[in-house]
Amino acid sequence: MTTSTGQDRPGAELVTWLAALRTLSAEASAETDLPEVLCLVADTARTLLGFDFCGVLIPNTDRDRLLVQGWSGLSEEYVRRVNSDRAIRLDSGSPSSQAFHRGEPVAIRDVRVEPEFALWAGVARDQGYRAIVAVPLVAGTEVLGTLNGYYASVHTFTRYEIERLILLANHAAIAVTSARRLDELRTMTGSLREQRDALARSEQIHERLLAVTLRSGGIGGIAAALSDLIGRAVLIDDARQVELARAGDDIEFPSAAIRSGIPDDDSTATVVPVRDAEGAATGWLVANVRLGHEVAARIWFPGAVGALDALQVRAVEHASIVVSVELLREQTAAEVERRLRGELLADVLTGGASLSPQLLERAQRLGHDLTVAHVAIVATVTGPGEAALRRAWQRALAVVTQLASAFAPRPLVATHGGALVVLWPDTAAADEPPGVLVHRVMARVAPEITATVAVSDSQPAGGGESYRIAKGALDIALQAGRTGTVVTLDDLGIVGLLLQLDDPVKLTAFAGRTLGPLLDYDADHRTELMSTLRTYFACKQDRSATAAALVVHPNTVAQRLRRIEHLCAVDLADPGVTTQFSAALMVHDIAARR
């Protein structure tokens, strides 16, 4: 193969060169992609300088190797191998690496006898070249890559050949720089366009989800909209794994027990994969919905994080925000409703037997009919830990309120006097006694919480008297250690009858006549005759058991009992006296609670 020497027709060669360089510059300044420009550089070099093959090598993004990015005459297999298993590392002794680092041409007359070319000898033989020259592509102070020429036969490169290749390489470097800048500009423009479109789509997503809230679509509407946006079934539950809504395909979501085992994720990731105990992915994704620093709800849907595109992730982000807004709105509305019902209950309980028309009208607006007979239900919860107990009270009020909402006329539910109070109308028929229903839902609030419920008999319209009776029954039950159950007046026997007496003056007078001497003596001498007598009856008049309960000597108990008999002029062995004093103690306790 021969190359042009430039001595036969210099004018024609100059025209050819100028035309080729003009074409190269035009393509670099047009909308031609960078890989096409690099291939044009290789084609131009091969045409003008007579090489059998040409290649343009550019560093990879890690700048640790040179990759063939443009070529002319080289086979696809050669390019693939040089770019993979026969990689031209920048720290190697290849002619391309040396030219790149030195910034000057490197030529090899015969690659088969060059030791440092041994790694590429096989691919060179397969491609069919023996000689190679690599010239750096220099733009200013930056080396962009190398322009390589290959001959099929052994070839000694002259200074004139190399100078012409350098001249072409310099023009090619300018073209590559222009093409690269245009390529970067196109990429930036495309990225900005994508961001603009994503922002517009994101705004549409937000507006769609927000519109659900504005038209009072609730959590269910948000779930339906999100399911449509991400193309997956969606389940939303609260912090106690109570399902709030679901939408989309009818699939089996993880059970509440499994969902409760997912720890709160404090990471900034919006969507996280659900993993099992061994840390393996379960095929479910979850997004937390936060109110302040607490997780108020979670959004569940199937899939893997990588399967969601940016807009789907954005849809979940917006949905979590809108769900939090909806939860806050519901909480605010519920809080206002609780306050109104609490004020109503307080006025009812202090309004006497006859309620005013204004009070009845207020109740009617809230869905309550206080003109019918009611039973009063008074309940409390006990358990370890102040924080846990506070949450239990909040939850108990919520679940009993939800229970009451299913009946008409609606029972009035509120807190009063440190207890949860329900005025349950007789006309709100239920399959089970109301007290049992209330106790059941309260007992499920938390495993460590104990719920105790007391129920009055049906009382005429009003509520103050029935509340007083039920509250007294609850206090007596708690004092006796009867917790975690439903207490009725029948369960309390004579105490239940005494609670229904509506004359506290008579009760107090009866207790005063019987126990007055003991009360006065304890007050004057700071003794414990009353507590001794109460414990004595609680221990079935067993003096040894009484002493053990009071942590005193049996002789001390005997002395106190003799003192009681002396002060009251009675014989505690007399069954009639026992009945009288037992009743008096009950009346004293009941009267003290009125």
Q: What is the pLDDT of residues 494-529, one digit of tens each?
A: 566 566 655 556 666 777 888 889 889 988 999 898
The structural architecture, per CATH, of the domain 216-331 is: 2-Layer Sandwich (3.30)
Q: What are the two backbone dihedrals, phi and then psi, of residue 423, each rounded to the nearest 5 degrees? A: -100, 105
Q: What is the pLDDT of residue 136?
A: 92
The sheet carrying 486-488 orders its strands as 412-416, 419-425, 374-382, 450-455, 486-488
So where are the chain's domains? Answer: 12-184, 216-331, 351-500, 504-592
Copy the structure tokens of residue 351: 């309004």
Q: Are 63 and 24 in contact (CB under 8 A)?
A: no
> Which residue type is seen at 167?
L
* Class of the CATH domain delimited by 12-184: alpha beta
Copy the structure tokens of residue 258: 């499994």
The CATH superfamily label for domain 351-500 reads Reverse transcriptase/Diguanylate cyclase domain (3.30.70.270)
* Class of the CATH domain delimited by 504-592: mainly alpha
Q: What is the pLDDT of residue 6?
A: 42
Which residues partner with 298 through β-bridges? 237, 288
Dmax (CA) for the chain in angstroms is 151
Count CB neighbours of 522 within 10 A: 16
For residue 128, the SS3 value is: coil
Q: What is the pLDDT of residues 394-435, one digit of tens each?
A: 888 989 998 988 888 899 999 998 899 999 998 877 788 899
Let me know the angle formed at the C-alpha of 23 by 49 and 73, rounded to the nearest 5 degrees: 45
Which residues partner with 143 through β-bridges? 138
- pLDDT surpassing 50 at residue 5: no
Buried b / exposed e along 49-68 (16+ C-beta atoms within 10 A):
bebbbbbbbbbeeeeebbbb
Chain-centroid distance, C-alpha 469: 45
Angle between helices 34-49 and 10-29 (to 10 degrees): 170
Q: Which of 75-84, 325-334, 357-366 has the lowest mean pLDDT?
A: 325-334
- pLDDT surpassing 80 at residue 361: yes
> Confidence class of residue 7 from pLDDT cuts 50, 70 and 90?
very low
- pLDDT surpassing 60 at residue 145: yes
How many Å apart are CA 587 and CA 260, to the nearest integer? Answer: 48
- pLDDT surpassing 50 at residue 66: yes
Q: What is the pLDDT of residues 72-85, one digit of tens each?
A: 999 999 999 999 98
Cα distance from N-terminal residue to C-terminal residue, the chain: 120
Percent of the chain predicted with pLDDT > 90: 21
Let me know the angle formed at the C-alpha of 168 by 180 and 17, rounded to the nearest 5 degrees: 115
> Which residue type is seen at 381?
V
Q: Which of 242, 239, 240, 246 is nearest to 218 (CA)?
A: 246
Domains 12-184 and 216-331 share a fold: yes
Q: What is the pLDDT of residues 480-494, one digit of tens each?
A: 677 888 888 776 665
Higher pLDDT, 522 or 257: 522
Q: What is the pLDDT of residue 4?
A: 39
Q: Are 180 and 29 in contact (CB under 8 A)?
A: no
Higher pLDDT, 330 or 2: 330
> Confidence class of residue 289 from pLDDT cuts 50, 70 and 90?
confident
Let me know the angle formed at the C-alpha of 144 by 143 and 150, rounded to the nearest 5 degrees: 100
Average pLDDT over residues 356-376: 87
Count CB neighbours of 250 within 10 A: 6
Average pLDDT in the chain: 83
Q: Which of 162-166, 239-243, 277-281, 372-376 has the lowest mean pLDDT?
A: 277-281
